[in-house]
Structure 1
């Protein structure tokens, strides 16, 4: 059973400080003291409630991976490999894996006493009153990978599939979790990836606020706006309810 879900934002070393400031601001968080052999890890500490976002300075273009807190890492690894995942590395305290399509995730030890149940709704209010919440990770999958990875994540998490108005999307919602998953079928073959999604009370106002903080607008659609953060990573603000998703 997954006790807690972390979004781990991997960002290039040369833009990491700017990215940490940006993501802390748009999630109403403060940046923890750095840790790791090279001070490469930080946690974004929200103004209230438990943390659900971590960041890592990396030597490549970065991206997103997931940390899944579990009670029994060896048992979780056995389950995941039985469903088609691959073990990438096994450091002392956690295990790095890839989904069948190649999305990186880690099994990490659960800290049950630090996780309230149910998880509180943690929203951010922009200066103009716009409310946002980083509540979803979108897994971007090639047409050949979408079915296998959707089945994998549903079986691994045991989360409930949710309705979607578009055939290229599948939703998974977990009980008492800070993040939910959206699986997106891409139009063209490409390696598996992921991006963060904000729910926003006003997508235009949210995007404008993010731009003022250093983001770059990429694409406007009817129900979402695609942006790039200061580290050039894509993410979206979407017209979902920040309180309910």
Structure 2
């Protein structure tokens, strides 16, 4: 008969095996509960990150469009005003209307620029972004730790000689957990193993540390204009990475079932 794992007696190994399987079963229940309670909100938070990036991109395009339109309209308004003054002695009424319309168009163009700037401020603020980061981190950390524990216990269970333990009288539930462990570890690809750690937590920590690069020091709520495009891309990348890991967690949840 082959020696017992870790040099334990058969009785001690069975006891250890049964306890580890029980711990795994509890962890799987907890993981299921956490996924049921939190996965929808995590998807919503990822959607909010994507919305920030989308709105920033949209506003930048709109700002550029308004800048071009405002510049053109301003030039037309200026020409109209000059033309109106030139024609004043001949057609006083018409010239005044032309002048008024020109001035109005210039004012309108300026107004559009101001509105764009105000809207841009409302779209993203540092506190709002940090709130999303902290909420996502708060909801994902337990899931990450739970998943790491599950895979660690599965790795240990699959090291046992299962047929041998079965003959020696190991608990049926414990044997089921061991077979599940063999199945999961065997079918877990390299991408799955990479995502198994607390990747989301590390991604969010790295993102939080970079916030000073994108927001003004004097007014930390205001996004630096020169950094809007880069920040949009960075938020979009974060959302994609978080979605990848959440998808992996869901795939693993399916494997556990």
TM range (shorter): under 0.3
Which has the bigger relative contact order, CA under 8 A and spacing at least 6?
2
User: TM-score if structure 2 supplies the norm length?
Assistant: 0.21
User: TM-score if structure 1 supplies the norm length?
Assistant: 0.21
More helix by share: 2
User: Which of 1 and 2 has greater Rg?
Assistant: 2
More strand by share: 1
